Chain A
Amino acid sequence: MSKRIICLIGRRLATAALLLFIVAAATFALIHSAPGGPFSADRAVSAEVEAALNAQYQLDKPLASQFASYMSNAVKGDFGPSFRYPGREVSELIAAGLPATLELALYALLLALLVGVSVGAIAASRPGSLRDQLPMAVALLGICLPAFVLGPVLALTFGIYWEWLPVSGWGELRGDKVLPTVTLAAGYCAYIARLTRAGLRQQLEQPFIVTARSKGLREPAVILKHALRGALLPVIAYLGPACAGLIAGSFVVETIFQIPGIGRFYIQAAFNRDYTLIMGLTLFFAALIIFFNLLADLAALWLDPRQREGV
């Protein structure tokens, strides 16, 4: 069995490499076809300067050879120098922004899981009652409310009117991680709550639950010990894309709360036509998404014996 899992991982990794190559080629083609270049500015630079700069960054070579030299370096882990920030390597910029982005995503994921699963469980335990309908209505609102609305609303309420929490930063002032985490987690939290509720409702109707109840087990024990494991399968399957989304999607939250993460770099890099930084970040995000999807699949295999049969 474990051999089969290793085979599966191997196959997935091979597809991943091909996928990354396609992503790289498509991104390269797209950014070079976008008008404007890294050195265009409102205040025109003289032709001599532009030529010198293009030569320095090998932008005067044919596109195919630029791509080939980029890929051969990237395979060795060298993503080149940033065009926008002379003296900085792309890998250095990613490394500078990654801790904040990862930390934010991790906290948001934990919060989303904790609140989402709890609320889902509460809602599922008394379907149709107020404690089902109220949290589910809030969850629907959470899914609908985008971060760029929720973030400022939270910042204004808790940061400016009540002055309880800082409205910006990451790890600088006490409590500054709370609002960004809540903002990022909200949508995921709501989605997980709905998934958990649906999963639990289905599980609670199974014969083994009826047996457990008839033996006199109390409802919390029934949910925690018996029903939840099966009910969480859809949640686990959702975690792969959720993780990738939390990391890649944190750029809105990073901008609202002035968090020095890689999401902010991504936006700036696109506006600045910082070709190497865009390439590096796109490949990085693509690799992350592939990795988390693989991880979610493996977790599902571990939790659900039925799926193992198919491998």
Chain B
Amino acid sequence: MAIWRGFGGRILLMLLATLSLISCSPSERRVDSGTEQGILHWGNASEPQSLDPHIANGVPEQKIMSALWEGLVGKHPKTLEPIPAGASHWQISPDGRHYRFYLQRNARWSNGDPVTASDYHWAWWRALQPSLGNPFAEMLFVIAGARDYWRGDISDFSQVGVTVVDNYTLDVELAHPTEHFLQLLDMPTLFPLHRASIELHGSATARASRWIYPGNLVGNGPFQLDDWQINRRIRVTKNRHYWDAKQVALNQIIFYPTENITTEERLFRAGQLHYSYDVPVNKLGYYQAERPQQLSIAPYLGTYFYRFNTRKPELADPRVRLALAKAVDRRQLTERVLRAGQLPAYAMTPPNTAGYFPPSAAEQQLAFDPAAARQLLADAGYPNGAGLGVLEILYNTQEEHRKVAVAIQQMWKTHLNIDTTLHNQEWKVYLDTERRGDYHITRASWIGDYLDGRNFLEIWLCDSDNNRTGWCDPEYDRLLLDELPAVSDKAKRHQIMRRAEQRLLDGLPLLPIYTYTSKHLVHPDLRGFYPNLLNQPLFKALGLQREPTTADE
């Protein structure tokens, strides 16, 4: 053909030849070589802000830190029951306020130094220094004196209930019996720290310090930091000094900052990741139908809800809020709109949070019932929605939130004849608007830090910075702040929490919508992975083994 002749044609031919040269061999699949060499390729959502356990506050950071450090007590990856970690065993006093931890005698830092009780003591002192801006400092407030020390009411750290008995024994005195204390111990903010290596790089309480970088960071976990290339990857390698190194099957984990979940899904499909941080909603159908064995969907300890601004006259009457709640068909939302196994929620606390169930009447109270909703609205003085005006739903810009808001807008229009406008804002603008209380209704969510209902109820206290609705019930505060801490019996605690939650649902500053699920793509070669309520893997228990039958397609 004439087009191939002459100078231009030759160049085109050359280009095609180069392209075909590249394409002769199939491209490498990292998962295949990874499985052979024990290298786990892990999608980890975003570039970590920091790896300082007292600064970083995101879930992706927490994942990496849990490979580099270990707290006194860990969690079983399947059941989330406490398991020995930095401490081999522990004793709890009958009044539930005194804990004695016996440290692993052979525990070593990644530089070979022994891990001692002083390392925990010093790290907890550091966690309570306000200049670091530790977002999770409040987790330590269960320890006697910690809150006062943080606030500056006492300046002597020896008055805080942490005592080094000897190198391998640590005593902790709690402010009040705390059922979930053992669970807190594997949160980064309670990890031990290696003082000498931190002080080598500047002040112990400086945010901008270089001790967290490869070559400087000393941890006590199953892995040690090996390489950190910004926006590219973080590589951790097996720590040969780790006390339980024999049980660690992986040689390396590589964490990738995969902030674009569509790209992440392509990476998984092209064989570059063993595990994805998330799954795009529009791909769920494909995996459910074609590759169900690679899709992991599990209940997650988080509630998706709307906040009602009770300071707005339209929403000041609890009957209006209840009417709005009863006009939402949650089952339709989870099954038709979201379609990832989310559970309709009728209370703040997810069901079976460490054995706690929300009040049994909750489901009936908030159940979808358009007739009752209309009646409530009429009782409040707005028959058929007349006179209520237009409500606005504020959400941060994201497709999933938009879909939910559109569906709810439609339900309110159909069942209550209420007009709603939707308003989306970029994340930080949305946070600012919500803080200022400049909204009617906002989208919100709360993900549990530990397995205890209290974690979900606390945010509705009158002076909680996370309340933001103007709702305040002194009796609710009294139950949670005075009555609950005084008891240690599980059944009694749950009873008090249920009473508090009932008051919350009667006041209804929120519209519970659904309980989260965690979604991941998991390569069949990955062993020892259990989806759990906290969506928290135990890296030392993970392994890689070739799956002969279902490896690829």
Q: B-contacting residues of A (Cβ < 8 Å)?
A: 34-37, 39-46, 48-50, 52-53, 56, 81, 84-88, 93, 96-97, 114-115, 118-119, 121-122, 125, 129-131, 152, 155-156, 158-160, 162-170, 172-175, 178, 219-220, 223-224, 255-258, 260-261, 264-265, 268, 271, 273
A-B contact count (CB 8 A): 179
Q: A-contacting residues of B (Cβ < 8 Å)?
A: 2-3, 6-9, 11-12, 15, 22-23, 26-28, 30, 46-47, 49-50, 52, 55, 57, 130-131, 133-135, 137-138, 150-151, 207-210, 212-213, 229-232, 256-260, 262-263, 266-267, 269-270, 272, 426-429, 431-433, 435, 445, 464-466
Residue among A48, A49, A115, A223 with the most chain B CB within 10 A? A49
**15 A-B pairs whose Cβ atoms sit less than 8 Å apart in the complex:** A36-B432, A42-B445, A48-B130, A49-B137, A52-B130, A56-B131, A86-B209, A88-B230, A96-B229, A118-B11, A159-B270, A160-B266, A160-B270, A260-B232, A273-B428
Q: Are A164 and B270 in contact (CB under 8 A)?
A: no
Q: Are B231 and A97 in contact (CB under 8 A)?
A: yes
B136's nearest neighbour on chain A, judged by CB, is A43
B271's nearest neighbour on chain A, judged by CB, is A163
Contact of B23 among A129, A155, A164, A265 (CB under 8 A): A164
Q: Are A87 and B208 in contact (CB under 8 A)?
A: yes
Q: Are A131 and B3 in contact (CB under 8 A)?
A: yes
Q: Are B230 and A87 in contact (CB under 8 A)?
A: no
| B residues in contact with A156, CB < 8 Å | 266
Contacts A131-B2, A258-B267 known; 14 new A-B pairs at CB < 8 A? A36-B428, A41-B135, A44-B435, A48-B130, A52-B131, A86-B55, A86-B208, A86-B209, A96-B230, A160-B269, A160-B270, A165-B22, A173-B27, A268-B47
| B residues in contact with A34, CB < 8 Å | 428-429
A123's nearest neighbour on chain B, judged by CB, is B8
Given A87-B208, A152-B266, does the pair A260, B27 have CB atoms closer than 8 Å? no
A121's nearest neighbour on chain B, judged by CB, is B8
- Cα distance A52–B55 in the bound complex, in angstroms: 13
| A residues in contact with B3, CB < 8 Å | 122, 130-131
Contact of A35 among B7, B259, B433 (CB under 8 A): B433
Q: Are B27 and A271 in contact (CB under 8 A)?
A: no
Q: Are A265 and B267 in contact (CB under 8 A)?
A: no
- Cα distance A87–B211 in the bound complex, in angstroms: 9
| B residues in contact with A84, CB < 8 Å | 49
Q: Are A46 and B272 in contact (CB under 8 A)?
A: no
Give the Cβ gap from A117 to chain B, nearest Cβ, in Å: 9
Give the Cβ gap from A66 to chain B, nearest Cβ, in Å: 18
- Cα distance A36–B430 in the bound complex, in angstroms: 8
| B residues in contact with A220, CB < 8 Å | 6-7
| B residues in contact with A167, CB < 8 Å | 263, 266-267, 270, 272
Give the Cβ gap from B194 to chain A, nearest Cβ, in Å: 17
